[in-house]
Amino acid sequence: MAERYLLIITHAKDDEDRANAALAFAAALAADGHEVAIFFLFEGANLARRGVAETIAGRNYAPVRDLLPLLRDAKVELMVCGACAKTYAIGAAELIEGCKIVQIPTVTALMAGRQTLTF
Protein backbone atom coordinates (compact mmCIF):
# COMPACT_ATOMS: atom_id res chain seq x y z
CA MET A 1 0.00 0.00 0.00
CA ALA A 2 1.37 3.39 -0.98
CA GLU A 3 2.07 5.82 1.82
CA ARG A 4 2.32 9.60 1.77
CA TYR A 5 5.52 11.45 2.62
CA LEU A 6 6.63 15.05 2.99
CA LEU A 7 10.38 15.60 2.90
CA ILE A 8 11.64 18.89 4.28
CA ILE A 9 15.08 19.60 2.85
CA THR A 10 17.13 22.19 4.73
CA HIS A 11 20.51 21.89 3.01
CA ALA A 12 22.05 22.58 -0.39
CA LYS A 13 25.65 23.72 -1.01
CA ASP A 14 26.26 23.97 2.76
CA ASP A 15 25.98 20.16 3.14
CA GLU A 16 25.97 18.52 -0.28
CA ASP A 17 25.90 14.96 1.09
CA ARG A 18 22.77 15.65 3.14
CA ALA A 19 21.03 17.49 0.28
CA ASN A 20 21.91 14.70 -2.14
CA ALA A 21 20.79 11.97 0.27
CA ALA A 22 17.45 13.70 0.85
CA LEU A 23 16.68 13.75 -2.86
CA ALA A 24 17.86 10.15 -3.22
CA PHE A 25 15.40 9.13 -0.47
CA ALA A 26 12.63 11.05 -2.25
CA ALA A 27 13.42 9.36 -5.57
CA ALA A 28 13.47 5.92 -3.95
CA LEU A 29 10.13 6.51 -2.21
CA ALA A 30 8.56 7.75 -5.44
CA ALA A 31 9.98 4.80 -7.39
CA ASP A 32 8.33 2.48 -4.86
CA GLY A 33 4.97 4.07 -5.66
CA HIS A 34 4.62 6.31 -2.62
CA GLU A 35 3.17 9.81 -2.85
CA VAL A 36 5.97 12.27 -2.17
CA ALA A 37 6.10 16.03 -1.69
CA ILE A 38 9.25 18.06 -1.08
CA PHE A 39 9.52 21.37 0.76
CA PHE A 40 12.79 23.28 0.39
CA LEU A 41 13.45 25.26 3.58
CA PHE A 42 16.27 27.48 4.91
CA GLU A 43 19.51 26.85 2.95
CA GLY A 44 17.66 24.05 1.14
CA ALA A 45 15.70 26.73 -0.70
CA ASN A 46 18.73 27.12 -2.92
CA LEU A 47 18.06 23.65 -4.37
CA ALA A 48 14.95 25.17 -5.92
CA ARG A 49 17.07 27.70 -7.83
CA ARG A 50 17.73 26.71 -11.43
CA GLY A 51 21.40 25.78 -11.93
CA VAL A 52 22.22 24.88 -8.32
CA ALA A 53 21.24 21.20 -8.55
CA GLU A 54 23.73 20.64 -11.33
CA THR A 55 26.55 21.62 -8.97
CA ILE A 56 25.68 19.19 -6.16
CA ALA A 57 26.96 15.64 -6.07
CA GLY A 58 27.17 13.85 -2.76
CA ARG A 59 29.76 11.16 -2.32
CA ASN A 60 27.53 8.09 -2.25
CA TYR A 61 24.38 8.78 -4.28
CA ALA A 62 23.39 9.59 -7.83
CA PRO A 63 24.05 13.30 -8.45
CA VAL A 64 21.20 15.71 -7.83
CA ARG A 65 21.14 16.62 -11.54
CA ASP A 66 20.14 12.99 -12.24
CA LEU A 67 17.59 12.76 -9.42
CA LEU A 68 15.50 15.85 -10.23
CA PRO A 69 14.21 14.51 -13.58
CA LEU A 70 13.19 11.28 -11.81
CA LEU A 71 11.24 13.29 -9.24
CA ARG A 72 9.51 15.35 -11.93
CA ASP A 73 8.62 12.20 -13.89
CA ALA A 74 7.15 10.69 -10.71
CA LYS A 75 5.00 13.84 -10.24
CA VAL A 76 6.65 14.68 -6.91
CA GLU A 77 5.32 18.01 -5.69
CA LEU A 78 8.18 20.52 -5.32
CA MET A 79 7.72 23.58 -3.12
CA VAL A 80 10.01 26.24 -1.73
CA CYS A 81 9.40 28.34 1.38
CA GLY A 82 8.22 31.81 0.42
CA ALA A 83 10.12 33.52 3.24
CA CYS A 84 13.28 31.59 2.34
CA ALA A 85 12.91 32.47 -1.33
CA LYS A 86 12.82 36.10 -0.25
CA THR A 87 15.84 35.67 2.04
CA TYR A 88 17.90 34.04 -0.71
CA ALA A 89 16.50 36.33 -3.45
CA ILE A 90 15.00 33.47 -5.46
CA GLY A 91 12.29 34.71 -7.82
CA ALA A 92 9.61 32.58 -9.41
CA ALA A 93 11.36 32.88 -12.78
CA GLU A 94 14.51 31.29 -11.27
CA LEU A 95 12.83 28.16 -9.92
CA ILE A 96 13.54 24.69 -11.21
CA GLU A 97 10.87 23.22 -13.44
CA GLY A 98 7.76 22.19 -11.54
CA CYS A 99 8.62 24.02 -8.31
CA LYS A 100 6.40 26.66 -6.75
CA ILE A 101 6.76 29.18 -3.95
CA VAL A 102 4.40 28.46 -1.04
CA GLN A 103 3.75 29.77 2.44
CA ILE A 104 3.89 27.79 5.68
CA PRO A 105 0.11 27.12 5.92
CA THR A 106 0.27 25.24 2.61
CA VAL A 107 2.93 22.95 4.05
CA THR A 108 1.27 22.43 7.42
CA ALA A 109 -1.90 21.35 5.60
CA LEU A 110 0.16 18.77 3.68
CA MET A 111 1.67 17.43 6.90
CA ALA A 112 -1.68 16.01 8.03
CA GLY A 113 -1.83 12.37 7.02
CA ARG A 114 1.80 12.23 5.86
CA GLN A 115 4.98 10.99 7.36
CA THR A 116 7.25 14.01 7.54
CA LEU A 117 11.01 13.59 7.26
CA THR A 118 13.48 16.44 7.74
CA PHE A 119 16.95 16.41 6.22
- CATH code at 89? 3.40.1260.10
Total residue length of the chain: 119
pLDDT at 60: 86
Q: How many domains does the chain have?
A: 1
Tell which residue, 91, 54, 88, 95, has the closest CA to residue 23: 54
Provide the pLDDT confidence category of residue 83 given band limits of 50, 70 and 90: very high
Range of the domain at 99: 4-118
Mean residue pLDDT of the chain comes to 95
pLDDT at 107: 96
